[in-house]
Homo-oligomer: A and B are copies of this chain.
């Protein structure tokens, strides 16, 4: 592994990874059933967020969501029946990230659920994510399965997805990077806040949506759903970020982070030089602002891969762009500016197009370098949603990533240097 012991070679590998990521041009081209869109997907596979765990390890929201997805697909008739099939491996649980996909919170994604298809114009590489489920606190996304959740998933599959798909074909696809660029200038961080991005997307969707579908009751419902859900764009941004991050994956020797994800139990990362290997650690405390009536003891993690937005410089890394989120992220706008400024110390470069007005149009911190994280001890700042143990959306806050996975990743890239790094950390 001589390549990784040489700082100059590491720098070159990181430059290659980041250049490939920056060259990605994700375009929203279609909406398709997960079975048709995702590589390796089967009718009996259920994808979920985070580095995968044995089925028995899922005992909270992710478990409920995966069982819900099994019932939604008709793979079992009762939760107990689904549980037995999952134990027996007759329903397979797999990681979203291993199937070209990213999941929001639980990320429970099954065969017939429609996914957004983002394609990198340059490489043809695709990234996917479920269509946003709506703003109801009770969602499969947030570990809830009931009749109302079921009806909403059917509406998305039968009404929203086909209309969106035909609109996208009429439009010839919608490039996502320019929308992100514009939204950063309009107060979005593109993780916890997607208000502007959704409004810009809506403007681009109206004509092709009506052209392709006419202006009937269902078109109207679809347009209203997109317009009225400020976070609608989040899942597009996530799938686009998956496209971008995957472009850097597999660069030998590179310490650039290509994924960050959580499950119920763990925070995990991948780096470009070690492919699909996960580096794992327990999840730290989320500093959250909770909805009225919800107390901190009610909160529990149930997975999440929206951290892919931070992986490409958005979300917490772009905190300075979104002062409206101050109550959820540090308390003041000044703290959010500091957050972004700190992130430049652990990133490889600045994005040439995605810029933050408040910082004199400086590009967002881009390309988290696990080497810089490991040597400085500064870890990524992440904006993320909070969930209730019993299910449901509970608020949002700031997560400070744990240091261990970054150190482990560097140790894996450079086993010979590991002992001296360990000594210097103690």
Q: Point out residues on A near B: beta carbons under 8 Å.
A: 185-187, 195-196, 199-200, 202-203, 206-207, 210, 215, 220, 223-224, 227, 323-324, 326, 332-333, 357-361
Contact = CB atoms under 8 A, between A and B. Distances in A.
A59 to B, nearest CB: 39
A277 B213 CA distance: 57
A353 to B, nearest CB: 15
B202 A324 contact: no
A387 B407 CA distance: 58
Contact of A186 (B195, B215, B326): B195
Given A187-B187, A215-B215, A333-B359, 13 more contacts: A185-B324, A186-B187, A187-B196, A199-B199, A199-B200, A199-B202, A202-B202, A202-B203, A206-B206, A206-B227, A207-B220, A326-B357, A333-B358
A119 to B, nearest CB: 25
Contacts of A326: 357, 360-361
A199 B203 contact: yes
A210 B203 contact: no
B357 A323 contact: yes
Q: Which of A185, A220, A359 has the most chain B CB atoms closer than 10 A to its own CB?
A: A185
7 contacts: A185-B187, A186-B196, A199-B199, A206-B206, A207-B220, A207-B223, A333-B357
Interface of A is mostly: helix
Contacts of A359: 333
A21 to B, nearest CB: 26
A149 B36 CA distance: 52
10 shortest A-B CB distances, which residue pairs?
A323-B357, A199-B199, A324-B357, A186-B186, A323-B358, A203-B227, A333-B358, A186-B187, A185-B324, A187-B187
A359 B206 CA distance: 35
A360 B326 CA distance: 8
Nearest to A183: B186
Contacts of A360: 326, 332-333
Q: Which of A185, A200, A206 has the most chain B CB atoms closer than 10 A to its own CB?
A: A206
Contacts of A361: 326
Contacts of A215: 210, 215
Contacts of A195: 185-186
Contacts of A323: 357-358
Nearest to A219: B210
A67 B83 CA distance: 81
A409 to B, nearest CB: 36
A333 B199 CA distance: 24
Nearest to A322: B357
Nearest to A324: B357
A187 B220 CA distance: 29
Contacts of A196: 186-187, 196, 199
Q: Which of A187, A195, A224 has the most chain B CB atoms closer than 10 A to its own CB?
A: A187
Contacts of A220: 207
Contacts of A227: 203, 206
